Amino acid sequence: MHKAKMIRTEEVDQRLVTLGLIHFVELGHMPLDRSMIQGLAMFWRPETHTFHFPRVGEMTVTLEDVAFIFGLPTTGRPVTGRTDYDDVQKLADFALPRDTPMEDVLDCFRERATDRRAGRKFHAVQFGKLRDMWAQGPGSEDADRIDRYTRALVLELMGCEMFPDTTGDSVPCFYLELLRDVHASDSVRYNWGAATLAMLYRGLDLAVLANGAQKVPAPWLLLQLWSYTRLLLCRPSVTKSFQGWGKPSVERCPPYGRQWTTRLRSKKVKGPVRSGIEYARDVLMKMEHAHVVWRPYEDELRQVVMPPYARYEQRYYRLRVPCIHFWVVVWHYADRVMH
């Protein structure tokens, strides 16, 4: 359910390739199935970061799933750093048009708290204000303007899908420091995939504590597409065939998850309503091994028409490694569930 509506140009896409986000921005749109997400959260165990299904056993979302479904890199520098930036003008110089009046800068950025238990405060930028300031697009001649615009676009993507928070209308500004150089080489690329997985695990942990995921922020679209990919009983009917990876090119093709966002269409179902949290729970309770796709990406790995990172990074998918998103650090126990 990408909410970012900012214009993309060839110059912007070149910078998205550098940042390792070009596949992710091609994911597409989809409404969330809140009932299924709630149902899945009922089977989550924070102590192992796995789902415990009665007839299937343990399953979880892994770095492999993040790499394929979202198209995010799962290697690189950890997504961490300072969160206490208070120089609003410096933040504006990263992501707002040049010569933006200070009163507009202050109107766009606001200080707020996150993670109340830790008492953290930081500045956040509002999506609506950001869109308004970039209503004219990036242009194609001023490199600095394109750099700023790209950072603004990525900020919105992060706040909508990768690292959403409780406000739903803003995103923390500390991500801007990680987007300082949009022309960097692969050697300084960040591990966006592990950071996104860390936030999903944390969201599921909090959903268990809160007895529900209704108001818990997390990259729920990743969980939803994971359930479509691996759990046959959760998978809706599709209306289009998937054309596969590598189109129009392996460097800029959509991720594996695009097959769901482009193929599904809601339909009215006659008879008993097959939705709701209780229905989702019952489906998952009855799920057996035959209803699970244990190796959904195997056919893709045999093909050469796929993004190079998906083949290169598969050596890391089974490792026990920390997934880091600033103050959130969780462990990836893929070896518990990958066969």
Task: Say if CB 58 and CB 43 are below 8 A apart.
Answer: no
Residue 163, pLDDT above cutoff 90: yes
Average pLDDT over residues 301-324: 76
Strands 120-126 and 170-172: antiparallel
Lowest mean pLDDT among 88-102, 202-216, 254-268: 254-268
Q: For residue 156, what are its two tokens?
A: 């919105």
pLDDT grade for 13, boundaries at 50, 70 and 90: very high
Average pLDDT over residues 311-338: 86
Task: Please report which residue ranges of the chain form alpha helices under DSSP H.
Answer: 10-19, 34-41, 63-65, 88-95, 102-108, 127-133, 143-157, 192-209, 220-230, 258-261, 277-286, 298-301, 308-312
Q: How far apart are CA 117 and CA 111, in angstroms?
A: 17
Average pLDDT over residues 281-296: 94
Lowest mean pLDDT among 28-37, 80-89, 90-99, 157-166: 80-89
Of the candidates 150, 98, 104, 101, the one whose C-alpha atom is nearest the C-alpha of residue 125 is 104
Residue 49, pLDDT above cutoff 60: yes
SS3 34: helix
Average pLDDT over residues 78-82: 93
Residue 59, pLDDT above cutoff 80: yes
Residue 5, pLDDT above cutoff 80: no
Average pLDDT over residues 225-248: 78
pLDDT grade for 77, boundaries at 50, 70 and 90: very high
Three-point CA angle 300, 202, 309, nearest 5°: 25
pLDDT grade for 4, boundaries at 50, 70 and 90: very low
Q: How far apart are CA 309 and CA 314, in angstroms?
A: 8
Alpha-carbon torsion, ordered 73, 76, 78, 82, to 10 deg: -100
**For the chain, what are the domain ranges?**
10-78+193-336, 88-188
Task: Say if CB 157 and CB 25 are below 8 A apart.
Answer: yes
Residue 303, pLDDT above cutoff 70: no
Q: For residue 138, what are its two tokens?
A: 């990036």
Sheet of strand 109-114: strand arrangement: 109-114, 120-126, 170-172
Q: What is the DSSP letter of 219?
A: -
Residue 117, pLDDT above cutoff 50: no
Average pLDDT over residues 96-119: 74
